[in-house]
Structure 1
Amino acid sequence: MRKNSIKNTRINGEVQKELSNIIRGEIKDPRINPMTSVVAVEVAPDLKSCKAYISVLGDTDSQKSTLEGLRSAEGYIRSKLARTINLRNTPVIKFILDQSIEYGVNMSKLIDDVTRKPDDSKEADAADGFDESVESEETESED
């Protein structure tokens, strides 16, 4: 089975769905942040190992404790996964912290900060002779 085959893609999706259900509803470890999500799952073609990319909303201490909690509950998670998914082999799960969502949010904020300069935009509008109040009066009179 190739890495990007249809079968492997379906297995990745099913494992991701079941992992998120198990983490959200069945693990009672207080170290695991309730805002934990499974971003992606890569199951090896031989179904022996699996990389689960986890995103945690919170500070670095919360992220570290969530990873510790998930690693300690790995055996329980694997046994639950074996009961819900009918595979020849139940993969050994390796949890990896994925910070791409946090990185994207930070980049979006930086882009917004650069593009939104409130003092410069008012000066540029005044230099162009553009006045919002005049335009709004004109649109109201047309109605």
Structure 2
Amino acid sequence: MKEKRLNRITEEIKRELSDIIQNKLKDPRVHSIVSVNQVDLAGDLSQARIGISTLGTPDQQKETLEGIQSAKGFIKKELGRQTKLRAIPELIFYNDTSIEKSIEMFELIQEVNHGKNE
């Protein structure tokens, strides 16, 4: 039961964070294409590690992360308004590069497969 509740809360936080970052955050450092890929919520709901992915150069990704970090208070306040949680976890944002790594892996596999076909 506890795991089911934790998964439900994690998905709700992920959905609401995506909405807040895309539609309510007005920081010019935050580029338009940002997605919340991963939310790891502590069992006691005290912390949430949030993996974000930004389409752009490494400098744009760093700038976007800095913008989101500086708006952490606003994001937490909005999250509190949009969810029914009594206490909002501490938000820890990081750049999630799993999509980029997946694309690189896919390209490597394609190269290997293409080499075998010749």
Hey, what does 2:6 align to over in structure 1?
Answer: 8
Q: Distance in 2 between matches of 1:112 and 1:48?
A: 42
Amino acid at match of 2:57: D
TM-score, reference length from structure 1: 0.77
Paired residue total: 118
TM-score by length of 2: 0.93
| Aligned-partner Cα distance in 2 for 1:79–1:115 | 50
Q: Per chain length, whose mean CA-contact separation is higher, i.e. which structure has more relative contact order (CA < 8 Å, sep 6+)? A: 2
| Residue aligning to 1:68 | 66
Which residue of the partner structure matches residue 137 of structure 1? none
> 1:34: which partner in 2?
32
Which ranges of structure 2 fall in alignment gaps of 5 or more residues? none
1: distance between equivalents of 2:43 and 2:106?
A: 36
Look up the match of 2:102: 104
Structure 1: which 5+ runs fail to align? 122-143
Deviation of the 1:68 alpha carbon: 0.1
Match of 1:55 in 2: 53
Query: % of aligned pairs identical?
Result: 41
**One-letter amino acid of the structure 1 residue matched with residue 7 of structure 2:** T
Deviation readout 1:44-87 (Å, 9 max, x if unpaired) = 22222111111111111011001100000000000000000011
Q: Alpha carbon RMSD of aligned pairs, Å? A: 1.7
Give the deviation of 1:40 after TM superposition.
Answer: 1.3
